[in-house]
Chain A
C-alpha cells in the first residue's frame, strides 16, 4: 500500500478511515431491499420481450385469480394517474415521444414495462407475471443509429415521423480558415460503444402512503432524492411538501441512479391506490435492460494541423444513440462531449454537430463521465493519430498545444473557462513516475525480441463540480446546514447524497477543523428530504466541491453568531473576540475563554444572551459556484499482448491526477482506482450488445463482462496540486477523473503495441478475438524485426523482460 501522507495538525489532508464503514462491514446497513414495513406488498414488472411491437391485447384474468395477488395493472389502468417520466434536458424543438410509465398500445424496447403485479409475496408476484398473456404484433425494429437516419429506415416511433430526436451544433472560430491554413487534415472515425453501468445493487424502491396526512414516503435507491421529490408531484399528483424521499444506503450509482424512473412513480401511485406499502426490487436482467445505458456515440473527426504540430481546428459529426426515450438528462449528455472536445489544447476553431437518434433500445444517459469520456477518448486518440501521421513525438505534440500555466483562467474554443491548470506539470510528474524514457526503451527492446508491447498516454482535462445554476436545468447550487447541538455535539446536514464517496467522513473532517472540535463529535446526515430539506444531490463530481463549500459557509455564519454571544458573556467588543481551536476569547485574554460547547448550551438556554439576539447555534447556506472546476492529469500505460490469444495485459499503470488539494487522500485514491476500473472494463471487455432484432444479448453478468480482481494492474498513483479559484478550499472533484483519463491511455497503449502490424485504430473493446484478428489481418505488414529473434521462438509464449 502506498504511504499515506498525513499532516500532524488538523483532519483535512489526512487519510482517515471512513466513519460510514462499521455498519457496512458488519452487514447492518440498510439498503432499500432491507426495509420491511407492516402489510408491505411486492410489485413486479412484466416487460416487453420485443424491441418494437403493437400490443393487441393483455389478458390479466389468470394472474388476478392467483392466491396472494392483490392487483394487476396495465397502462390502461394507471397511465392517466401516473404521469409522464420527465426529461429535464430536451433540446429546443426536440421531437419527443410521450414517456408513459407503462406501455400504451405499443412497446418500444426490450424491457419496456407493460404491466405490473402487486402481491403479498415476491415469489407469488413473480408467478403471476407468467400468467399474464400479451398478444403482440412485432413491428420493424430500429437498432443501428446510422441506418436510422437514412430515408428508408423504419421508425422507432412512427408517430414522430422521424428517428432524429435533435440536432445540436457547437461552433466557434473561423473553421474554414483553420482548414484552409492547415498543412494536413487528419481524419478518423471512432465508435464509443454502449455500456451498462451495472451497479451491484440494482434499483429498488418502497413507497408508503400515510392516509391520515395524505402524504407519501418513498425510499429509493437513487443518487437524487431531492430531484425525485421535485419531479414526482407532476407524475403522481401529490404536492412536493407532502412527499418525503429517502435514499437509504445506496449500492452504487455511477450516474445510473441519477434519474427518475417509471417504477418510482408506480410504487408511489400504487401505495396510495392500495393504501399499503409497496416494494419493488429490480432483478439483474431488468437492471441491464431497463436502467439507463451510457456512451453510444459514433463520431467522424477531422483535425486541421500545421506540419509543425500546431493544432488549428477540429470538426466532428457525431451520431448519439439515445434509445427509445429521453430519460432525465439523455439529450444533454452528448452536448458535454462537444463542450470538452478540445481537451487540454489550444484550437483556433471548432465545430461539432451532433444528431441525436431514436432507436428501439434502452435510453442512454449519464454514466460515469457522462459525455466527457467520449470527448477525452476522441481528442486523445486524435492526438496520437496526428503525432503518428506527422512523425512528431506524441508527448511533444501535446506539450506544444497546451496552454501555459500562466494562461489560466483559460478560455477554450468551446466557450468554457478552465479555472486553473498546469498540464505540463502533471505530464512531467507522470513521466517521472513511469520512468517514461526507460519504458519506451523497454518497449523497443521487447519489440526486437518479438514481443507485442505498447506504451500509451493521455493528458486529460474534465469538467466537474456541476455547476453554476445557469448551466443546470434545476439549479447547480448546493445546500447545507450545521447545528451545534445543546450538548456541543455537531450535526452537519448536506444536500448532497453520498453513496460510497465517503462524505460522512470528508465533511466531518472539514467541519471538525473549521470548528476546532473532535471528528467524533460530528455526525453528517444526508439522503433524506425530511432532514436535508433542499439539495441538488450527487453527480458530476460535484458533492465535495459545492456541498463542502456550503458546509463551510454555514460554519462561518455560526462562528460569527457565536462571537456575538461570546462578546456579550466576556463583556468584550464583538470585533475583539477571537475564535481559535474551538475557543472564544477577547483579544489578549486567551486564558479567559469560552468553549463552543459552553456557548452552544448558553445559546439554547438563552438566559444570558445579547438583546434581540436569536437563540440557537444553527445556520444553513446555499453555495452558488461561480464556475465549474476543471481537474486534469496524465495517465501512462504499458501493455503487452499475447500473440497467440490476443489477450491484452496491462503491465504498468501510472496515473497523475490534479483535483486540487485533497481532503482525504485515501478516498481520492479509491475514487481514482475505481474510475480506472470502469475504463479498463470499457477498453478490454464491456459492450452492451443488441442483435438486429433489438434483443439485448448482454443482459446478465455472464454476457456483460466486467473487470474482476484478477484483471486489475498494480497502480502507481501520483498527484499534482493546482488549486481552483472557484471555491475557498481550491478543490476540484475526482469522482469521474479515473474513467475520463484512463480509457484513451489504455487505448493508445494497445494501438501502440499493434503499430508494428500496421494497425492504426481499433474500436473498443479490445477483446482477445478482435486483437487477435487485427494481428492476423495485418500479418503481412509485420516488420521482420518482430519475427526473427535468435534463439527465441516468438510464436510460442512470450519472453518476459522485467518491467521497470
Chain B
C-alpha cells in the first residue's frame, strides 16, 4: 500500500507515492534525487541527515515522509541562493570547517538554525548547539571558527 506525500522541498512541491514506512531522508534522496542529505547512523545520533523542516533543524533519518506531508523542507541543495553561497557555507569554506565533507551538510543546516536563534553565539554556545552532529575529521575547532565567521558576516550584512 502506498501513500501520496506532498512536501515542498527547496521551494518546489514534490509529490510522490511512497510506502508509509519510507523515511524522510529516503524520500529526499531516492524520490527527490537530492543526495546532499547523508545517512550516517539511522538512529538520530550523528546528525548527517539534518534538514530544515518548517524552519526547524530536524534529523530526517527518524522522520517518516508521511509525517512531513504538507511541510516545507530545506536541504543543503537549497541553501545557496541564486548561485551565491550562504554565509555559513562561506564560513565552512574559509575556515576549513570540513575535511571528508560527509557530516558537512548536516553541520551547515544545524549551524544556520543555530544562528537564527542566536545570532551572536559564543564558542561554547556554538559547541553546545552542534552537540547533535558528529564529525570524525575536523576535531570541531574549525567548525566553530566557521560558525563564528558566518555570524560576523551575517551581522555585517544587516
Chain A interface residues toward B at CB < 8 A: 1, 17-18, 20-22, 24-31, 33-34, 123, 197-202, 249-254, 281, 283-284, 499-502, 666-667, 669-670, 673-678, 680, 700-702, 706-710, 712, 714-715, 738
Contacts and interface: CB of A to CB of B under 8 A. Distances in A.
A249 B36 CA distance: 12
Given A677-B139, A714-B141, A21 B98 contact: yes
Nearest to B88: A25
B140 A27 contact: no
A281 B75 CA distance: 22
Contact of B96 (A18, A254, A710): A18
B96 A709 contact: no
Contacts of A667: 96
A202 B100 CA distance: 12
A31 B38 contact: yes
Given A252-B136, A252-B137, A670-B99, 7 more contacts: A1-B95, A22-B85, A27-B36, A670-B138, A674-B136, A674-B138, A709-B126
B143 interface: yes
Contact of A500 (B43, B94, B123, B137): B137
A201 B139 contact: no
A500 B128 CA distance: 25
A661 B43 CA distance: 43
B57 interface: no
Given A708-B134, A709-B130, A700 B104 contact: no
B135 interface: yes
B40 interface: yes
Contacts of A675: 139
A219 B103 CA distance: 20
Nearest to A368: B136
Contacts of A673: 138-142
A709 B143 contact: yes
A712 B127 contact: yes
A677 B140 contact: yes
A27 B136 contact: no
Contacts of B72: none
23 contacts: A1-B148, A17-B94, A17-B96, A24-B101, A25-B92, A27-B76, A27-B79, A29-B101, A33-B38, A199-B100, A200-B46, A200-B134, A251-B102, A670-B96, A673-B138, A674-B137, A674-B139, A701-B45, A708-B140, A709-B127, A709-B130, A710-B128, A712-B144
B142 A200 contact: no
A27 B142 CA distance: 19
A650 B139 CA distance: 14
A33 B136 contact: no
Nearest to A34: B35
The interface centre, meaning the residue of B42, B46, B108, B139 with most chain A CB atoms within 10 A of its CB, is B139
Given A33-B35, A200-B136, A500-B137, A25 B85 contact: yes
A500 B100 CA distance: 4
B21 interface: yes
Contacts of B46: 200, 284, 701
B127 A500 contact: no
B58 to A, nearest CB: 16
A204 to B, nearest CB: 10
B136 A700 contact: no
B39 interface: yes
Contacts of B108: 25
Given A25-B85, A701-B45, A252 B140 contact: no
A666 B96 contact: yes
A499 to B, nearest CB: 6
A123 B21 contact: yes
B60 interface: no
A22 B100 contact: no
Contacts of A249: 100-102
Interface in B66-98: 75-77, 79-80, 85, 89, 92-96, 98
A31 B102 contact: yes
B101 A712 contact: no
A23 B5 CA distance: 29
Contact of A670 (B40, B48, B123, B142): B142
A21 B41 contact: no
A458 to B, nearest CB: 17
B134 A701 contact: yes
A1 B123 CA distance: 11
Given A25-B104, A666-B96, A199 B136 contact: yes
A500 B131 contact: no
B131 A709 contact: yes
Contacts of A201: 38, 40, 100, 102
B19 interface: yes
A201 B95 CA distance: 22
Contacts of B140: 673, 677, 707-709, 712
Please list the 8 inter-chain residue pairs (A to B) with the smallest Cβ-Cβ separation, ordered nearest first: A27-B36, A251-B102, A27-B76, A24-B101, A677-B139, A500-B100, A500-B99, A701-B45
A24 B104 contact: yes
A738 B100 CA distance: 17
Contact of B77 (A26, A281, A284): A26
A27 B145 contact: no
Contact of B89 (A25, A253, A706, A707): A25
Contact of A254 (B105, B136, B143): B136
Nearest to A35: B35
Contacts of A21: 92-93, 98, 101
B88 to A, nearest CB: 9
A741 to B, nearest CB: 13
Nearest to A28: B36
Contact of A702 (B36, B39, B43, B144): B43
A712 B137 CA distance: 13
Nearest to A667: B96
B141 A715 contact: yes
Contacts of A22: 85, 93
Nearest to B80: A26
Given A33-B35, A200-B48, A201-B102, A706 B128 contact: no
A714 B102 contact: no
B134 to A, nearest CB: 6
Contact of B105 (A27, A198, A250): A27
Contacts of B102: 31, 199-201, 249, 251-252
Given A27-B36, A712-B141, A200 B135 contact: yes
The interface centre, meaning the residue of B42, B127, B141 with most chain A CB atoms within 10 A of its CB, is B141
Nearest to A713: B141
A251 B135 CA distance: 10
Contacts of B37: 27
A27 B126 CA distance: 22
Contact of A710 (B94, B101, B127, B137): B127
Given A670-B96, A670-B142, A701-B45, A709 B85 contact: no
Interface string B34-64: 1111111111011010000000000000000
Contacts of A709: 126-128, 130-131, 133, 135, 140, 143-144
A47 to B, nearest CB: 16
Contacts of A738: 139
B101 A500 contact: yes
A250 B141 contact: no
B136 A198 contact: yes
A700 B41 contact: yes
B114 to A, nearest CB: 11
Contacts of B131: 708-710
A567 B127 CA distance: 60
Contact of A1 (B38, B104, B145): B145
Nearest to B22: A123
B21 A501 contact: no
Interface in B103-158: 103-105, 108, 123-124, 126-128, 130-131, 133-145, 148-149
Interface string B11-23: 0000000010110
A27 B93 CA distance: 13
